[in-house]
Structure 1
Amino acid sequence: MPRYGCGIAIAALWLSLLFSNCVGKQNESTLQLQSYSHAILNGSKSIWSNKDLEVTVTVNADDVEDDDDGAKTDRHEALLAQSSIIYGLIEVANASNVNAICHAQLKHVQRSILNKQPWALKALDASGGKSSGFVFGQNFWLGSRDACTSIQRPLGITLSKHYKRNMHNGLITQQSPFDMDYRVIYLRHKSPWQVELKVMSEQIIHIGLCLPSSCHSSEIQQLASDYVAGSFKDSDIFELEPEVLYVKDLKLRDVFYERLSFKLIVGFVLATCAFMLCAQQLSVAKQLPADGHVDGAGLAPVESEIWRALHFLLKWRPLQSFVSCYDVARNWRRIVATRENNCTEIPLLNGLRSVCAICILFFHVMWYMYFTVHNKATLLAYGEHIFFQYISSAPLLVDVFFTISGFLQTYNFLRNSKQLQAIRENGSLANVKLFSKLLFHRYLRLVPLYLIVIGSVDLVFAYIGDTSVYHIFNRFDEICSQHWWRNLLFIQNLFEFNDLCVNWSWSLACDMQFFLLANAILFLYVKHPKSAKLLTIAGLLGNIVWSFGIGIKNNFEFSFDIVYGTGTEIYISPFVRVLPYILGSIVACCLAERRVSYTLSEGQQRWLWHFSLFVFLICIYSTMKRDFGYMLTVSLFSLGRICFSLSVCWMIVGSATGRGVWWSRLLEARCFQHLNRLAYAFYLLNPMIISLIYGLTSSSTHADPFTLCIACCGFTLVVYLASIVFSMAFELPYSNLSSLLLSKPKTT
């Protein structure tokens, strides 16, 4: 019996030691399955105590080495070292290339991964790895930003306790014992095994990693450089030859709020809101009875004094006129108003502008989402399909706007008999003043909204440049801070395409330059008609010759890479793009002066309308085959643009003379009057909004026809709503002011 009792005591002691050892090991691994606890799963309590989750920063080097030796015996270690980027980075970390805290925490992550702790496996799972689809542009190995965030902030998800779940309890609730951040490493590769499109920057690999916050970005960049030169290179079948460019922590820098554009935008918005409030006060005051007065009754003393002072200031007539330009109610009525078309108008222009603006937005969706697309080659291949030709050829639609601008500039100028008489009677100095006046009013109508968009683009790209997971190729925040003055002078299209601030605004610069040139020739036309005509014809012929020459010099073809590569020399060049403006001006001159008279039967008119539409569509779809060879391509490019502009001119002339067919009547619908008033804001805003929304996504975009159609419809609605706000705040008030100044009687 004593022996039996002694045996029991020894067995009890041995079991107690074994149990304590198991409990201690559970802090190292959660592989031991526990009974399901609904409270644990739903976050009301944790299986980990704070003490268990503490990490000692000061680590004994011998202990770490022993732990590493033990980890190497794990059957998963070799596989992780070859397949996992985050694990490979941790392996190359040592006390010499990272700080002590970072080193200790990285090694803790490594041990926890090998011991299969839920929080560590979530970090491993949240980190990116090599993805399929590399050949056609999959350079986004982003992992999951949300999954990395959930390591510190568990998902607020409630799951029913009535179901048995085959999962570890800590997957949802277990938190990391130290702060973890999502970082993105950017590598430039030189792989010959990826389709190189030569369109923007496509050879940048994005790698998202969930790493301890104590590791600085510079240290992570050094770790990445060491890793890609070692084990990563050994398993690289695609011959990447990667070069680490930089690392982002996706946090907005404090300097964002110190940007000049931020201060200007805030000041401009506050001033606009103040003027709108003043306009509202003025409108209320005008509705009071003649003997009524504003005494601020019912307001606090300070508010009452402000109200009285405002009312006193608004009694000044010039200030009343200025403030009235910001009247929200009046501007709203002006935007949404529609009326019957009259004989002095060209109603087709409203529909033509609106439809072309929407088609250009569709193109911008494809273009400004490009930096997020992981099947870039497929996206460009869609552009050569017949269904997407109206989108991929949308840049040609800019010629529609140039044709309309040239036509209206000349047509309205020649129909203003008072102005023509004044020019004939004026001397050179007086005509220079009149020319400057016309330029000032055009500048006043265009620049305020344009300036706000430039500032907004600067802020948007500074924001996504810091916080987006993507490498931003066009850093407009950096470009605009240096070259904003080019945009305000409307000369940005005379410089390199990649150096453009707000690069889609090149057409505004062209239009302003053409406006100056056309006005100069029209002033000359009033004084010396023959000289102006000869100069115009010479300009037209010279442009055709120039287009041929520059196209042949650059081996121009319709392929996307050539079109992009010749952006500076051809696409944004005013010397090439002036052709439709000249043709529109010539047709307007013939119509205004009634130089051409013709009598057509109703059938002939219908035939010409349908023929013009046929030519228009043929020009749009002529780029379906993009490998004609540069000689044939240049010929098609030069002569095709002439036919394209002339087809638009016939539509304009037909509408101006009251003719039309069923599809032209659709373009003359009253709803397009409203959309046409928003066309300027619509054009300026859509690339910025598209870039912002795609830049805020945290996973790459897969381009396919269905999602592209949905995206285009969605962006059309979003940009339309934004255009109403921006137009009412920053366009219409200054248009009203311009009209006010033009109608102001001269004082002597």
Structure 2
Amino acid sequence: MKYTLIIFFIVAISKTKCNVTANAKNVGEGDISTTRLPSDFTGNKELSDKKLESSKNVGNGESSVYLDDVIFAMKNQNWTAEEKPCLDHIYRLLAGLQNFTLWAVWEWDAQASEPQGLLFGNRYQLGNFDQCMNAPWAKTHPELKTKYCLAEIRLERTDKAVRRRVDRPTYPYQSALDYIEYHVPHSRPLNELTWGACVPSSCPPRTVEQLLGIMLARSHLGAAGIKADISVDEPCQSAEDELEYDALFYAFFIVMGSVTAIALVCTYLNYQRTQDSSLDADSREPDFISAFCLRENASDLLRMKKEGVEVFYGIRFLTICLIVMDHQIGIYNAGPISDALSSDELFQQEVNKTTLGMLILHDDLFVDTFFLLSGFLTVTNLVKFNRLPNPLFIILKRYVRLVVALAVVIFYISAVHPYTGTGPLWKRAIAYDTTHCRNNWWLNLLMLNNYINPESMCIIPSWYIPCDFHFFVVTILVYCIYRTWPKLGITIAALLTAASIIAPGVVNYMNELSAVQLFTFDFILNPRGSKDFKLTYIPSHTRFASYLVGFYIGYVFIKYSSKGLDRMRQKWSVLGALAALTLMLLVMLLGSSYLWRSYHPLEGAVYAALNRPVWALGVGLLVLCCSLGHVPLIKSFLSWYPWVPLSRLSYGLFLTHAMLIARNVFITRNPQHNDYVEIVNTTIGIIFFGCLAALAIFLLAEAPANKLLALCLKSKVKKMKDQESNPDPLSTTTSMSTVPTGSGYLSENLPGTIQYSSKI
């Protein structure tokens, strides 16, 4: 017996050495042996019910068992005839993996074999997009072409177990199925993921769905028998799908190039004209050349107007910076991040609230600051008219100031923006916006995009622009009535004020909406589809109150500054400023609490009606304290001269920042870590480049258009002056009744400050 065992071991060792030597020899003989496929993998024979065998020259191991398991699962699926080319490629791929052939390993290595980090909120499993799209042999071996597909997956438990109540959702000894199923209010669900797959170019969407189902079933998520609802609803990407430049792309550069050339020529001609000593620079009449002169437009950008409200410069620019940061946080968290659970803790219930979360959850109030500034500057400019000109001309001038920069940005998004990036999520996110801009650009230019077809709005933040324009038009018309019939004007203004406060509360109560706009993960993914967004957040009739508060605050400022009461005691100024800041803080914190408090329709409606005008009242009180009195540090900081040019670029930054943020987020290839220091750093970069874009828009389009319109109106004024019998109809000593009510009195009555009156 002893000798028999010894002989047995010797024979076994000899056979093992022979097999290893033979395998090594086969691998070293060249590419032919490594790409040799079993007959069942070649696709030349009909698929049989017999389980496919692994290649003989690959030893048994975990990878071999995994691939055999995948092959077996594929054999038990129902495939159609049109899927056969795809299956042939996949079988060759699996055989190549067993032989460790380069092209097969390259293709398999380009995708995540199973989801990772899902329990910590890592929704996006993107694999390696560039490796899939840029195989070195893509052009020389067309039979190995691949494409990149995105699949949306929803996991559902199949067991019928009764879930036990667990006070702590992260109790370590509970079932992971319970944890995945547990959905904290206002946070992203853990049972949904987006999976990027690198598949043969011949595979139809149904085949991709089945393949991912097989892979998911053999992952750790499939161990408990989770059912996966998989869908591939959008076209896959391949290396051959490069966008071709269309006519709109070339049109943008032709138009902007022509405008740039005109501006450079006009700048040179205007400079030559200033060198002529026979001409007085101050006495020259504005003309086409000066309208496009870059030097003169830049000097307008740098000019600081001393009118007592210099704090507006700092408030305006710092407010847009806060809005950019908020949008950066929101869009960044909607993209691929590896630790989304940490971000969602900001939205969780009371026990998990954080100070940072309380401060940023209701930060949409910053937009109401712009409405306040708009209303304030509107009234301060209107009272400067000795005789009110034709309101249609004032409205036209306001429209041009708003629409020119907006048109340039829409033109860019429609024509150029799709060509500026690539990535797994790029087409989904950016092409979606481009399509809306190409189809609905006219709604933006007509200032109707916040009412008509808002679910297809071009440039989501642009809802602010029609609101501001509608407020301006209504205010101008009511003010004209007030100048003619004061009592009637006051009555209409009182009714408008009451309606503007009541309207959001009524809409909120009737539709059982939240007291504040919930900036949850679902909202950020699709803001246009949010019911709250369309009913209460963007309509003009629910946002008018803050504008009217600004109008009345501006009237108070004009009344007291005109009486010489322009200096408030420092003690009262400081106390008033502190009260204003406290009021603003309370409104913001109270609004954040509605995200986790129990819902009470009446209470929510009252807060929805009052929170925005109260916030605007706090900002207005701060402005009055700084303008009519002296608040150390705050007033000097907000009136700092560098805010002047930056504040005038705020409008362009408002229009461009979301586009820049979206590009940074959706060209990413891998989930990022949610680090707030990095978010601040990125925000600073967005503000910098957004200001550069805004500067180009201002110098090349916005300022020239405003000046050209002023020239047109001035020519009309001059023409109508020639028809007047009174040589000086604009004299301040002439009574209101002796002045004709025509439109020929606009130019000289319009103060220069209205140029930036109610723009952001």
TM-score by length of 1: 0.75
TM-fit CA distance, 1:400: 0.5
In structure 2, the CA distance between the partners of 1:82 and 1:392, relative to structure 1 (3 Å rule), is farther
Deviations 1:614-673 (A, max 9, x none): 212222333342333334343334333232111221223334435333212211111110
Within 2, Cα distance between the matches of 1:465 and 1:236? 38
Within 2, Cα distance between the matches of 1:87 and 1:127? 21
Output the amino acid matched with 2:606: S
Within 1, Cα distance between the matches of 2:621 and 2:434? 42
The answer on whether the counterparts of 1:53 and 1:176 sit within 8 Å (CA) in structure 2 is no
Do structure 1's residue 516 and structure 2's residue 500 form an aligned pair? no
> 1:22 aligned to 5, 26, 30, which one?
26
Do structure 1's residue 615 and structure 2's residue 583 form an aligned pair? yes
> Which residue pairs with 1:452 in the alignment?
408
Within 2, Cα distance between the matches of 1:279 and 1:221? 57
Q: What's the secondary structure of 2:287's corresponding residue?
A: helix
Within 1, Cα distance between the matches of 2:613 and 2:405? 32
The answer on whether the counterparts of 1:350 and 1:667 sit within 8 Å (CA) in structure 2 is yes
Within 2, Cα distance between the matches of 1:378 and 1:690? 21
In structure 2, the CA distance between the partners of 1:88 and 1:182, relative to structure 1 (3 Å rule), is farther
Within 1, Cα distance between the matches of 2:535 and 2:625? 35
Between 116-125 and 407-416, the greater mean CA deviation after superposition: 116-125
Output the amino acid matched with 1:278: V
Within 1, Cα distance between the matches of 2:241 and 2:394? 44
Within 2, Cα distance between the matches of 1:188 and 1:404? 46
Q: Which structure 2 residues correspond to residues 483-562 of structure 1 after superposition, within 5 A?
A: 483-495=440-452, 497-553=454-510, 554-558=512-516, 559-561=518-520
> Which residue pairs with 2:110 in the alignment?
126
Deviations 1:406-450 (A, max 9, x none): 111112101222x33x5xxxxxxxxxxx22211221122221210
Within 1, Cα distance between the matches of 2:184 and 2:244? 35
Do structure 1's residue 210 and structure 2's residue 168 form an aligned pair? no
Within 2, Cα distance between the matches of 1:283 and 1:179? 62
Q: Which structure 2 residues correspond to residues 27-426 of structure 1 after superposition, within 5 A?
A: 27=31, 61-62=44-45, 68-71=52-55, 75-76=61-62, 79-81=65-67, 96-98=81-83, 100=85, 104-135=88-119, 137-148=121-132, 151-152=135-136, 179-189=144-154, 191=156, 193=180, 195=183, 205-212=193-200, 215-216=201-202, 219-227=203-211, 232=216, 235=222, 237=224, 238-249=226-237, 257-258=245-246, 260=248, 262-283=249-270, 285-286=272-273, 321-335=287-301, 337=302, 339=304, 342=306, 344-374=307-337, 375-382=339-346, 385-417=354-386, 419-420=387-388
TM-fit CA distance, 1:352: 0.5
Within 2, Cα distance between the matches of 1:201 and 1:379? 13
In structure 2, the CA distance between the partners of 1:199 and 1:624, relative to structure 1 (3 Å rule), is closer
The answer on whether the counterparts of 2:126 and 2:195 sit within 8 Å (CA) in structure 1 is yes
The answer on whether the counterparts of 2:54 and 2:98 sit within 8 Å (CA) in structure 1 is no
Within 1, Cα distance between the matches of 2:436 and 2:187? 19
In structure 2, the CA distance between the partners of 1:624 and 1:270, relative to structure 1 (3 Å rule), is same
Output the amino acid matched with 2:681: I
Do structure 1's residue 746 and structure 2's residue 746 form an aligned pair? no
Between 541-550 and 404-413, the greater mean CA deviation after superposition: 541-550
The answer on whether the counterparts of 1:252 and 1:466 sit within 8 Å (CA) in structure 2 is no
In structure 2, the CA distance between the partners of 1:711 and 1:239, relative to structure 1 (3 Å rule), is farther
TM-fit CA distance, 1:251: 5.2
TM-fit CA distance, 1:365: 0.6
Deviations 1:184-214 (A, max 9, x none): 23224254735476789998643333344xx
Output the amino acid matched with 1:578: F
TM-fit CA distance, 1:536: 1.2
Gaps (5+ residues) in structure 2?
1-17, 158-179, 279-283, 348-352, 524-529, 723-760
Do structure 1's residue 689 and structure 2's residue 646 form an aligned pair? no
TM-fit CA distance, 1:382: 3.3
In structure 2, the CA distance between the partners of 1:605 and 1:141, relative to structure 1 (3 Å rule), is closer
| Structure with bigger RCO (C-alpha 8 Å, 6+ apart) | 2
In structure 2, the CA distance between the partners of 1:640 and 1:206, relative to structure 1 (3 Å rule), is closer
Within 1, Cα distance between the matches of 2:291 and 2:72? 63
Do structure 1's residue 640 and structure 2's residue 597 form an aligned pair? no
The answer on whether the counterparts of 1:365 and 1:690 sit within 8 Å (CA) in structure 2 is yes
Within 1, Cα distance between the matches of 2:641 and 2:73? 64
Q: What's the secondary structure of 1:186's corresponding residue?
A: strand
Q: What's the secondary structure of 2:450's corresponding residue?
A: helix
Q: What's the secondary structure of 1:208's corresponding residue?
A: strand
Q: What's the secondary structure of 1:187's corresponding residue?
A: strand
The answer on whether the counterparts of 2:292 and 2:704 sit within 8 Å (CA) in structure 1 is yes
Within 2, Cα distance between the matches of 1:462 and 1:75? 46
Between 466-475 and 444-453, the greater mean CA deviation after superposition: 466-475
Within 2, Cα distance between the matches of 1:624 and 1:345? 34
TM-fit CA distance, 1:361: 0.1
Q: What's the secondary structure of 2:197's corresponding residue?
A: strand
TM-fit CA distance, 1:725: 2.4
Output the amino acid matched with 1:186: A
> 1:724 aligned to 688, 695, 705, which one?
695
Within 1, Cα distance between the matches of 2:354 and 2:240? 41
Gaps (5+ residues) in structure 1?
1-13, 31-51, 155-174, 292-316, 423-433
> Which residue pairs with 2:350 in the alignment?
none
Deviations 1:677-713 (A, max 9, x none): 1000010100011111222221233323333233223
TM-fit CA distance, 1:482: 2.6
Within 1, Cα distance between the matches of 2:87 and 2:635? 71
Output the amino acid matched with 2:324: L
Q: What's the secondary structure of 1:97's corresponding residue?
A: helix
Q: What's the secondary structure of 1:543's corresponding residue?
A: helix
> Which residue pairs with 1:3 in the alignment?
none
Deviations 1:351-406 (A, max 9, x none): 00111000000011122234413444532433663235444333111110001111
Within 2, Cα distance between the matches of 1:327 and 1:711? 34
The answer on whether the counterparts of 1:256 and 1:462 sit within 8 Å (CA) in structure 2 is no
Aligned residue pair count: 644
Within 2, Cα distance between the matches of 1:60 and 1:221? 21
> Which residue pairs with 2:744 in the alignment?
none
Within 1, Cα distance between the matches of 2:24 and 2:329? 62
> Which residue pairs with 1:576 in the alignment?
542
> 2:643 aligned to 672, 682, 685, which one?
672
The answer on whether the counterparts of 2:553 and 2:620 sit within 8 Å (CA) in structure 1 is yes
Percent identity between the two aligned chains: 17
In structure 2, the CA distance between the partners of 1:187 and 1:197, relative to structure 1 (3 Å rule), is farther
Q: What's the secondary structure of 2:227's corresponding residue?
A: coil
Within 2, Cα distance between the matches of 1:67 and 1:400? 69
TM-score by length of 2: 0.74
